[in-house]
Amino acid sequence: MAANKPSKEAILAAFFDDGTYSPLFTDGAVSAAYGCANGQNAYVVFEDGSPVGVQDIEKNIRVLEMAAETGAPVVTFYDSTGAKLEGGLALLNANARLTAEIARISGVVPQVAVVTGTCAGTSAVQAAAADVCIMAADAELFLTAPFNAEDKVKAAGSAEFAAKAGVAAIVEEDAVKAASAAARVVGMFCLLYTSDAAD
């Protein structure tokens, strides 16, 4: 991963109009915010690169519930070193509920995944389940760590590989440009959903 990775502030400034938003959750490995992107209301879930715990996953679930209630899209920025092992069974249960909630609101509100760092294991499945998956060129997405695989596949886990596999629809140079692309996608999705509602 790039050592000079853009900050959370820079990434969210590129996503939200005028870089302004209302924080929803601020503590822990996962934070959340609400604001306008490309003129459309949107929720953001943001992973800061740390391992996630049960409370972090609960915040993610709550944002998805709010999105379903309001009809606003959800954009999740994926970057985590994995789960906190001390979470044990409670963490596995929370992750299962998160995956179920992602599936439940699929088709109800647009979901966009933006992979800015490491997105592995269950998180990779969740990102792939989004309507659109966007990746920074230096990000990683994999179910099983490619460096542990017996049959190593060239560039496995890379954004280039994810694009060729059809998982990543858009690959941008860095996380800031990926956030800008996500804002454009949110605008397009809202136009589509509005058009469908009118029909």
Taking the complete model, does pTM exceed 0.75, yes or no? yes
Query: Tell me: the pLDDT tens digits for 34-47?
Result: 999 999 999 999 99
- Spatial contact of 29 and 47, defined as CB atoms under 8 Å apart: yes
Query: Tell me: the pLDDT tens digits for 113-155?
Result: 999 999 998 999 999 999 999 999 999 999 876 665 555 667 7
Helix (H, G, I), strand (E, B) or coil at 148: helix
Whether 7 shows a pLDDT value over 80: the answer reads yes
Number of Cβ within a 10 Å radius of residue 104: 13
Give the Cα-Cα-Cα angle 127, 131, 133 (nearest 5 degrees): 45
- Spatial contact of 169 and 159, defined as CB atoms under 8 Å apart: no
